[in-house]
Amino acid sequence: MNNLKINAAGRPVPPEVNGEPVVPYMGVGKYKPVASKCSPVIPSCADFPADGNKCVASLKEALVKAGLRDGMTISTHHHLRDGDLVANNVFDIAHELGIKGLRWFPSASFPCHDHLIPYLEDGTIAGIEGSMNGPLGKFTSAGKMERTAVLRSHGGRVQAIQDGEVKIDIAVMAAPCADPFGNANGLGGPSATGVLSYADIDVRYADKVIVVTDNLVPFPCLPMQIEGNFVDAVVLVGKIGFPEKIMGGTTQVTRSPDRLIIAELTARFCEATGIVHDGCIIQAGAGGISLAIATFLHQTAQKNGWKIQAGFGGTTRYMVDMLKDGTMKYILDAQVFDMEAIRSLNENPGHTAFTLNNIYNYHSKGNFATMIDMVSLGATEIDVHFNGNVVTHSDGILLHGIGGWQNCLFAKNTIIAVPLFRDRIPVIVDEVTTLCGPGELIDVVVTERGIAINPLRTDLIAKAADTGLPLKSILELKEMAEAICGKPEKPRFTDKVVGVVKWVDGTVLDVIRQVEGIW
């Protein structure tokens, strides 16, 4: 591609992606769409069974009835995480039917979806827009995916659907609990996921919606996290997921001494600067460091007699503990990471599900993310301008999705809590390999060897001045990393753009290029 143009972040980006024109990133809050929302086709009750029973015999039958054909866009959600059987089954069926050129539009992908690589190779799937983790990422980086990959944040995915940027032909929504009309939730059954928050936007805007469940209950399935009025067909299958893999993953507090130092420094910083305070709103994620930070903040709040007004989930038992002992008043939940969180959702009226639209969609009338006092996030790289990368590593290979990371940057105080280096590769670098978040939105970087505050945040610099915390400049942190690890070799890229990173407003923030010499 020789027609790349430099965007407002200084990154060269293409004028179109997969044949569709795109807007280059213009700066935070600078791009204002002048357009209308996606307008799905108007259905009629006359075309649906009066007894409310939309059950069809198999997913194959449902897909055929939904008009599955070459080139369609198929969406799935990721609440079943690494235990998902449904997304894989969709493409098994598509392959069996000889369908080609599909676009897979998941809300996230997991190692279990490596199952789809043969379908990417044989043309059943032409491309993925979403997260390309592990082998799917490597497949992309090797330049083997037919379409250009499009990476979006969780909120960016909502924005893209709402704005009609991605028109979903068929949404296949796995549901741990559903009735024959299509009302569904994640609360019950053998494959419980707690919530179905990521599915809400899909069912509202997709042309056809298929609910797949292994736990069909009589009408009415309550609460209706998915409303059956948006559902075309319901399929009962033997199993939608492996429970032990749905709730598995990174839900243990880190035991690494270095990472515990990072977590403790983060909590101390938040207390000393007043970022965390009585009545504050926080977001805690999963992952070892985040959970350790949550544990430390729990202690901080208890010590000071503070009540945290609300915590946004991804929820684990560490947040639930705060709710139980009154340290936290409310948990608002878009994703559940363990069984304790599901129990809490079922039992505690202060713990409630909400949709991705509310917290993360930048093209709505405000969202909850900006009201968060403190969020702690990870990154694969942070550069000396505080820019962040979460999708590629310093070897240039695509390995992660963006998740809610970009959306959370809009919190009042965004802290990146990362080790100075991983496997002797520096995390603090001169320039991020892939730009996922502009430095102006990243306020603090906490490492085990020091804390760097973004110079834009003079208020935080003043508040942290006499706290005894190990304050460093971001340059000092980078130099410390290089002193220990040496300067890492730059990855070798070809000219081929294999993926783009979208900003929360749908503009193109950066590109991902083919890496030389893999596969």
- Is the Cβ of residue 54 or residue 60 nearer to a second copy in the bound state? 54
- At its nearest, how many Å lie between a second copy and the CB of residue 44? 5
- At its nearest, how many Å lie between a second copy and the CB of residue 47? 8
- At its nearest, how many Å lie between a second copy and the CB of residue 255? 34
- At its nearest, how many Å lie between a second copy and the CB of residue 110? 28
Residue-wise DSSP of 317-377? HHHHHHHHTTSEEEEEEEEE-SHHHHHHHHH-TTEEE--HHHHH-TTSS--GGGG-SEEEE
DSSP secondary structure letter of residue 42: P
Rg (CA), the chain: 23
Strand, coil or helix: 201: helix
- Is the Cβ of residue 111 or residue 366 nearer to a second copy in the bound state? 366
Q: Are strands 450-453 and 444-447 parallel, antiparallel or unpaired?
A: antiparallel
- Is the Cβ of residue 318 or residue 362 nearer to a second copy in the bound state? 362
- Is the Cβ of residue 367 or residue 380 nearer to a second copy in the bound state? 367
Single-letter amino acid, residue 15:
P
Contacting residues toward a second copy, per CB under 8 A: 29-30, 32-33, 35-52, 54, 162-164, 181-182, 209, 218-220, 222-224, 227-232, 279, 281, 309-310, 330, 332, 349-350, 352, 354-355, 357-358, 361-368, 370-371, 410, 412, 505
- At its nearest, how many Å lie between a second copy and the CB of residue 54? 7
- Is the Cβ of residue 116 or residue 369 nearer to a second copy in the bound state? 369
- Is the Cβ of residue 217 or residue 469 nearer to a second copy in the bound state? 217
Q: Are strands 20-21 and 208-213 parallel, antiparallel or unpaired?
A: unpaired
- Is the Cβ of residue 170 or residue 281 nearer to a second copy in the bound state? 281
CA 136/CA 447 separation, integer angstroms: 30
Residue 446's nearest CA partner among 290, 304, 229, 284 is: 290
CA 209/CA 200 separation, integer angstroms: 11
- At its nearest, how many Å lie between a second copy and the CB of residue 88? 26
Q: How far is CA 313 from CA 39, 299, 310, 316, in A?
A: 30, 19, 10, 8
- Is the Cβ of residue 29 or residue 326 nearer to a second copy in the bound state? 29
Judging by beta carbons within 10 Å of its beta carbon (0-12, 13-18, 19+), is residue 334 exposed, middle or buried? buried
Q: Are strands 73-76 and 102-106 parallel, antiparallel or unpaired?
A: parallel
CA 412/CA 155 separation, integer angstroms: 17
- At its nearest, how many Å lie between a second copy and the CB of residue 42? 5
- At its nearest, how many Å lie between a second copy and the CB of residue 365? 5
CA 38/CA 284 separation, integer angstroms: 32
